[in-house]
Structure 1
């Protein structure tokens, strides 16, 4: 039978429409902007790369601008940091590996030791002492005996203190951490189908500042296939309200109602995600440096029972108290002759090697503040060390069956850059990067596809929590579970996050939301002055009942932006918030506050919390409430 070929011809216009549809689908799935609005070509003065000023997130629910890390507005704040000088340049006398201490012969001259036989050393074991009811979780005990050794010694304990005497004089003190296999975990784990979870955190580093200060680290992670969440938006002011959602899935307020009524209580009854991993026979590890101001201990009681199998944070607290030095604002940079953040990374490697040798799956959460907490440019000093760390654990095979999360809680919260618009945005946009285990992309194809698409969605710490929950049972991440758009507040990175998602949908207050559009307006506008006065009154109301704190007055409005949630800056019936930077007296505190004008009620409302942009130091030493320290200026200092 003859076929009439003319009837089978498809119109040319059909192919054009089909191609356009495919391009739009591809752009939607991967959030690629085919024609970004207001494109401006910017020059990166550091690397001579071109930056296209569009949007890193451009969805119906959220648009976050793509900012140049080296823009003219922030360049003047980017400076060469001063390296730390540990122990005034005197090196450690001993070092450790996984199982022993050994003498560094190269250091003998620094201690004026000619004959090593004249050196007498011993070590004491240290361990955590459980606090009595009402005590703070910072107690420790030493062994009665100090065990003599010479040039090396095998160690079976977890933490030890070394003391060396020469010519009847103590010349050296040091502290060392180890990872002995504990009886309650050895031989109890069935690791079939499980993957290790390793979280490495850097305090106070925005996504852009990571790229700006640590390019070697970023470039290496890109080489090994890192996935970067471009729209990760913080939900609170400092570390606590941004990590509690990651670890519990709850906001700070919800945690208070659920299991932690006040800072006078312990955290033992709270449902941290590592407890769920423990139920799956994972070894659990928590470690932080600068732990005096740590997540559970700054103006808080901590735990009665140790919450994880291995807790480096206690060791860090003791070592900083005993041999901490090179103090900068809030942190000790060194313990003895070693950089503290390096010591934490070395401990992570000890954990990995020990778990690998004993075939024990682990959940490890590690947080470092000593490098990055106080200075915008300090992370640059750790670039080579972090690159080397990631390169080492990759090349030695420790990432083969490990999902790595490299992250921060927020950007730098004070300093000159923080008073710029870009600095404000960066502070709200920390970084989250993931390196997946070998074979993950093929084994969990739908999950990987969703993850890549979600890099261009608005995400938050609540989503990261759900991601950690999904990884407890990765075999459950089947297609039927991953299908469909999830509208929950917290959605795993491996599920489909809605492109219509807004800050309001996920519990990000207007004050922290980076999805809004804004214009700078005059500081002396009547509505601005009214809003600023209202904000100062609000701070004074928070301080009621604290007679030791002075009443604050408005000194000056430094900057004002009108923020809107709608598609137009001054559209009809749009919500309008004023984000105001102001200075108060006494104390010259600089604050950033979002005030919403409620037109119908002819009233104002402070949205979220008030940010402190300069350091308060000892100005608020007369109170202990960690929320109110930002605002209080002690009366005892007035006129001093």
Structure 2
């Protein structure tokens, strides 16, 4: 302070305000004001989620992707895979890697038997520079040298279609599992920057799930229906049909109406979307169907996130690129679904960033492809089993996956109004039903030049005008799954605890009634929270989160309706479609997993002798 006093003495008397500024008390006041402003700014901007939840609408948060890109984050390093001894080019030629002094290689092909079995043909020797059979797609190749052996697999599409100069609009869906919309950009910064800034996709902040997990969102995306609206295909129902016999898949419409070639490729075959709980397909449902190959790779001792000497992502994306290259001039509809990097752990999503970037660069380089292909890059739902999932923010993130769409220039010029509507709809509440309805319109526009007149009362095409005031209810999204709803905290009193206990009894005495001899009877441990979300004269509707006993702390979210009876009592109603298990249950239900896969999230087998990381 001696220095300040000396400065003050040297100041001319014509600067009284500077004397005031150098006053000790005034300086401390400025410091305090600055600290308060800093604190306010930090609270306001860093706790946006709390503010949005307070306003009951998670959608109001619009991520500033540019800020993420400015960080100049580097590509995450993928876990190292071994070096491949051989490669296979687009002409089916096998090329030996000279570094390994290979003595001999042989190959076998993978054949589809059914959705749970495959056949591996006898191995045949193949020479360096020789060709694999071009009418096959899935190969196992083993090689040996004097000192070592190597085993790898390939999925390739070699068959070429005749070139055509048509103007058909192709469609390709790149789908990933369990990623909230901002987590996508945060964890995949390089591919996201290319996607948004170079490809110029539209992103949709208000894309909302319509059910629990993959099946409840992929089935509406591909069929326009909820599972419960379709004939039974689940394993425990003796009257179930094969999935492809009764599910109206959108790829069939592209094939039948437009003559397109079709692809469905999904990794993690041990928990396949149409096989984990369902009876599977009676035959390959698309022209190119990757399931037998994926089943065959389960028997190989691959390093984590590797298939042979390639990354898991590259091995799968390469198959999608082959499909695109082969049919880009004749018309195609393809879906590539990758779950390996995001299903179990948010921290491993980043490993796919480089391979996804390479795919997007491949798409962008091919001008003819880019100018006549609609590309969807999206996730099915947000994270379901992360530790943060039990929070309100975690609940909302699960409900708000990533959706982006690339529209080619030829489409924009031909259908300017439809494109304008799509841009405006980037700020509307949307669901998988709407994406399906958009695919229907692509078919209609290709056939007739007009939007389809199909109307199911809930789905809206992104090419049509959608009200900015559209609600979840109008979009066919139940309030339990909605990211934009009014709710008030319910005091955890005697009545709330009673409702929670009734729900646990609903699990024990209704859902598990047929297998109660195998599963431990659950008990209520704690009511973590409860919210009142609907208040009617005849009933109240709540959303609960509870923890149960006797199953390693099962966490459940569910909707409960309290219906008022004429005698003054209440009846509590639970809907199994509005129940979500939000922590991992691994192999706790091993004793019923094959026969009753729909009940795995509720059953804790009395005999807990098996372990698993799934």
CA–CA separation in structure 2 for the residues paired with 1:588 and 1:638 = 18
Q: Which residue of 2 aligns with 1:362?
A: 332
Residue 212 of structure 2 aligns with which residue? 237
Shift in CA distance, 427/120, structure 1 to aligned 2, threshold 3 Å: same
1:502 aligns with 2:471: yes
CA radius of gyration, larger in = 2
* 2-structure distance, mates of 1:531, 1:81: 49
After the TM superposition, which of the residue ranges 389-398 and 546-555 deviates more from structure 2?
Answer: 389-398
Q: Which residue of 1 aligns with 2:300?
A: 322
Structure 2, unmatched stretches of 5+, are 1-38, 65-73
Partner of 2:254: 277
Query: Any idea what SS the aligned residue of 2:370 has?
Result: coil
From 573, 593, 597, the equivalent of 1:605 is 573
Residue 533 of structure 1 is matched in structure 2 by 501
Specify whether residues 343 and 499 from structure 1 end up closer, same or farther in structure 2 by C-alpha distance, changes over 3 A only: same
Which residue of 553, 557, 560 corresponds with 1:595?
560
Aligned to 1:95: 87
Is 1:472 the counterpart of 2:443 in the alignment? Answer: yes
SS in 2 for 1:144: coil
1:154 Cα deviation after fit:
5.2
* 2:121 is the alignment partner of 1:143: yes
CA contact (8 A) 2:589 2:601 kept: yes
Q: Secondary structure at the match of 1:347?
A: helix
Structure 1 or 2: larger helix share?
Answer: 2
In structure 2, the partner of 1:20 is none
Residue pair 2:110, 2:292 contacting (<8 A) in 1 also? no
Q: How many corresponding residue pairs?
A: 549
Question: Residue 111 of structure 2 aligns to a residue in which SS?
Answer: strand
Q: Does residue 1:460 correspond to 2:427, yes or no?
A: no
Kindly indicate whether the alpha-carbon contact (under 8 Å) linking 1:199 and 1:405 is maintained by their aligned counterparts in 2.
Answer: yes
Q: Is the 8 A contact 2:480 2:543 kept in 1?
A: no
CA distance in 2, matches of 1:504, 1:404: 28
Q: CA deviation at 1:490?
A: 1.3
Q: 2:103 aligns with which of 109, 112, 119?
A: 119
Residues 1:449 and 1:84: Cα distance change in structure 2 (over 3 Å):
closer
For 1:89-488, what aligned pairs fall within 5 Å after superposition?
89-103=81-95, 105=97, 108=99, 113=100, 116=101, 119-129=103-113, 131=114, 137-144=115-122, 146-150=124-128, 153=131, 155-156=133-134, 157-167=136-146, 171-181=149-159, 186-187=161-162, 192-223=166-197, 224-256=199-231, 265-269=241-245, 270-279=247-256, 280-326=258-304, 333-356=305-328, 359-397=329-367, 398-475=369-446, 481=451, 488=457
Gap runs ≥5 in structure 1: 1-39, 71-79, 132-136, 327-332, 565-569
CA contact (8 A) 2:190 2:357 kept: yes
CA distance in 2 between partners of 1:577 and 1:536 (Å): 15
- TM-superposed CA distance for 1:66, in Å, is 3.1
TM-score, L = length of structure 1: 0.78
Inter-CA distance 581–263: structure 2 relative to 1 (3 Å threshold): farther
SS across alignment from 2:404: strand
1:544 is aligned to 2:513: yes
Determine helix, strand or coil for the equivalent of 2:578. Answer: coil
TM superposition shift of 1:520: 3.8
Give me the TM-score of the superposition, normalised by structure 2.
0.81
Report the CA distance between 1:55 and its aligned residue.
6.8
* Contact in 2 for aligned 1:53/1:66 (Cα 8 Å): no
The answer on whether the counterparts of 1:558 and 1:583 sit within 8 Å (CA) in structure 2 is no
Report the CA distance between 1:240 and its aligned residue.
1.0
Distance of aligned partners of 1:458 and 1:208 in 2 relative to their CA distance in 1, 3 Å threshold: same
